Structure 1
Amino acid sequence: MSKRDYYEVLGINRDAGADDIRKAYRKLARKYHPDVNKESDAEQKFKEVKEAYEVLGDEQQRARYDQFGHTEGPSGFGGGGAGFDPSDFGFDIFDMFFGGSRRANPNAPRQGSDLETRMHVEFRDAVLGKQKEIILVKPQSCDDCEGTGAKSGSEPETCSICQGKGQVETVQTTPFGRIVNRHECRNCRGSGKVVRDKCSTCGGSGQVKRKVRIPVNIPPGISDGDQIRIPGEGNPGVNGGPPGDLYVTVYVKKHESFERDGYDLVCEVKLSMVQAALGDEIVVPTIDGRAKLKVPAGTQTGTEFRMRGKGIARTKGYEGDLRIRVIVETPTNLTEEQKDLLREFHRSNGEYDIHEQNDNFFNKVKKAIKGE
């Protein structure tokens, strides 16, 4: 049976470029691969596509094919029976079915990993915001070897095992040909380079740990558990890549006077019974100082007063409020004169007599013994 034209097999024009040939092959290889296509002639079509690509994918063989066609026979244009080896084409089965290469350049610049730490801040600083500083011990690029890990005057060598690829290959024979597996080179740990003469400062790692001071901007209104991202303050990059980021988790300390309720601040203020009954103008604490508050006559315990804009900053310039909760204190340790005044006040309101409970248990016992 005469062979089909290779250009016809791949479905391309005779003036197709190398990229067009490669794309056509990948598309048809995915379509007819025996692991995917279970039709009876799939394997034969797959071999036909492979053979066409072997010839047209090579500039010299393509030139001979364009001139002589199939006349060169088995030794010329894919007439032999070699097993399927995807590595001959510079890609593997993963490339064929998922449309990309897993071969990452081990010497390409890579961003450093991120770091995370925590910071405890005062309640007031969390409400109003503040510029603070955090001290960390973290790896940095070694100045003596400029991050290469090699002793001054020397350079890292190309790994002799993986030839600088950072990966080594193992071949597995299957009924459909050979499958190439790749894994990280143990000799260079995937870097593609080996340091023979190591830097005495960093021990060949290219990094040293130093104590650094990092400014942290605490934004107004930050909540307990929020994170602040500081770009470029993570671990250093690899092969000249950018550093990672630093994430600071903020923990807000408790305040002796204030509590947070959303964007509002809440505090309690104690009033005497007289202040609550007659009304008063009192001084109350705020997060950034003090302010005056007018308390109307007849204020009951538990009443809340709201001071607008004295709470926590919000977006678009709005702020929460300060809510002041009143606690009316009952007087203790009254003198007899004070008690008489309260009794008179009670009678003036037309109230019934009250059964006063002033004596403690021991005084009552003493009076009972004396017969009082």
Structure 2
Amino acid sequence: MEYKDYYKILEVEKNASADEIKRAYRRLARKYHPDRNKEEDAETRFKEINEAYEVLSDAEKRKAYDQLGANWKAGEQFRPPPGWEGGFARGRRTEDFGGFSDFFSSLFGGGMAGGSGFDPFGDRGAGSFQRAAPETRAKLSVSVRESFEGATRSINVGGKRLSVKIPKGVSSGQVIRLSGQGQQGGDLLLEIVLRESDGMRPDGKDIYVDVPVAAWTAAVGGQVSIPTLGGTVSMSVPPGSKSGRKMRLRGRGLPGKPTGDAYAILQVVAPEPKTEQQRKAYDALRSAFED
């Protein structure tokens, strides 16, 4: 098996204080937490970080680990010294905690009850020696208007009524975490599903809206009113515009970094004539184009 340099994994010196180790763990665990980091090796790094912290945050385990000496290098083939006990009684493994390496198991017997694991997302002790409560996942439908303005929603999950704050600019696929509100005291993860409202369709931070344009305005150009989340905007339609033409309104989408844009999709229409004068106007138009 390979030797694990727990100090190197946590990016601290061998004489690091307990506070320095805790701060390093918090920083790295946040960086590589699988819910936040989608890189391929994030989960593996997260497990290594938890394992390193389980040893170095416990004074007794750290002392035993340090007894191995300072000459081992990460990745070298390792076997415990003959008669190694590391200050721990063998055979006290209470369950398979999963995720810990063979190296850890060879030194500490696979796990001791009452570990010192620390969770950077809620101080739940999920680091290792207590099983973390399961996460509960659900979807939350949010309107484009709620995302633009921000909102507070009351929802029922598992027989509990919860108040959920919806931050401005939230978009589909983002997750709101409610600590301790899931099953068995675990976290509740709400995946946002953004839905159309006020005729405005979301696409990430951008908003799309269909805008009817009279045939003559599309032909010769003119002004049209375009509804946006921040209010109605007047915009010039270039002559010769056709249905499906996309006009961009920069910064008129959902808030964020960067802010999204709004896109008006022109839909050329021919209004129904309702008066004799309007019918005559259509006849004159037809005559003009057929001549």
TM-score bracket for this pair, using the shorter chain length: 0.5 to 0.7
Shift of 1:272: 1.2
Shift of 1:310: 0.6
Q: Take 2:68 and 2:240, find their aligned partners in 1: how far apart are those partners?
A: 87
Which secondary structure state, in structure 2, belongs to the residue aligned with residue 27 of structure 1? coil
Partner of 2:112: 104
CA contact (8 A) 2:138 2:189 kept: yes
Which secondary structure state, in structure 1, belongs to the residue aligned with residue 108 of structure 2? coil
Count of residue correspondences:
193
Shift of 1:215: 2.5
Residues 224 and 280 of structure 1: is their aligned pair in 2 closer, same or farther, counting only changes over 3 Å? same
Partner of 2:179: 231
Residues 130 and 91 of structure 1: is their aligned pair in 2 closer, same or farther, counting only changes over 3 Å? same
Partner of 1:327: 267
Mapping 1:153-232, distance limit 5 Å:
211-232=159-180
Deviations 1:61-90 (A, max 9, x none): xxxxxxxxxxxxxxxxxxxxxxxxxxxx93
Mapping 1:237-276, distance limit 5 Å:
243-255=185-197, 257-276=199-218
Partner of 1:90: 89
Mapping 1:7-22, distance limit 5 Å:
none
CA contact (8 A) 1:224 1:251 kept: yes
Q: Take 1:302 and 1:343, find their aligned partners in 2: how far apart are those partners?
A: 24
Residues 331 and 285 of structure 1: is their aligned pair in 2 closer, same or farther, counting only changes over 3 Å? closer
Partner of 1:342: 285
CA contact (8 A) 1:309 1:322 kept: yes
Residues 262 and 293 of structure 1: is their aligned pair in 2 closer, same or farther, counting only changes over 3 Å? same
Partner of 1:308: 250
CA contact (8 A) 1:229 1:248 kept: yes
Which secondary structure state, in structure 2, belongs to the residue aligned with residue 28 of structure 1? coil
Residues 267 and 105 of structure 1: is their aligned pair in 2 closer, same or farther, counting only changes over 3 Å? same
Name which of 156, 165, 172 aligns with 1:135.
Answer: 156
Name which of 207, 232, 245 aligns with 1:290.
Answer: 232
Shift of 1:235: 4.7
CA contact (8 A) 2:225 2:232 kept: yes
- Structure 2 gap segments, 5+ residues each: 1-63, 70-79, 94-101, 117-124
Q: Take 1:134 and 1:304, find their aligned partners in 2: how far apart are those partners?
A: 37
**Residue type matched to 1:217 in 2?**
K
- Structure 1 gap segments, 5+ residues each: 1-18, 31-52, 58-88, 138-210, 237-242, 347-351, 354-372
CA contact (8 A) 1:128 1:312 kept: no
CA contact (8 A) 1:115 1:247 kept: yes
Deviations 1:335-367 (A, max 9, x none): 662344124423xxxxx64xxxxxxxxxxxxxx
Which secondary structure state, in structure 1, belongs to the residue aligned with residue 81 of structure 2? helix
**Residue type matched to 2:109 in 1?**
S
Deviations 1:312-346 (A, max 9, x none): 2222xx31211112122135568662344124423
Shift of 1:296: 4.0
TM-score (norm 1): 0.42
Shift of 1:220: 2.7
Q: Take 2:115 and 2:191, find their aligned partners in 1: how far apart are those partners?
A: 34
CA contact (8 A) 2:138 2:190 kept: yes
**Residue type matched to 2:191 in 1?**
T
Q: Take 2:176 and 2:138, find their aligned partners in 1: how far apart are those partners?
A: 10
* CA RMSD, Structure 1 to Structure 2 (Å): 4.1
TM-score (norm 2): 0.52
Which secondary structure state, in structure 2, belongs to the residue aligned with residue 319 of structure 1? coil
Q: Take 1:219 and 1:107, find their aligned partners in 2: how far apart are those partners?
A: 36
Residues 263 and 99 of structure 1: is their aligned pair in 2 closer, same or farther, counting only changes over 3 Å? same
Which secondary structure state, in structure 1, belongs to the residue aligned with residue 248 of structure 2? strand
Q: Take 1:267 and 1:341, find their aligned partners in 2: how far apart are those partners?
A: 33
Residues 90 and 262 of structure 1: is their aligned pair in 2 closer, same or farther, counting only changes over 3 Å? closer
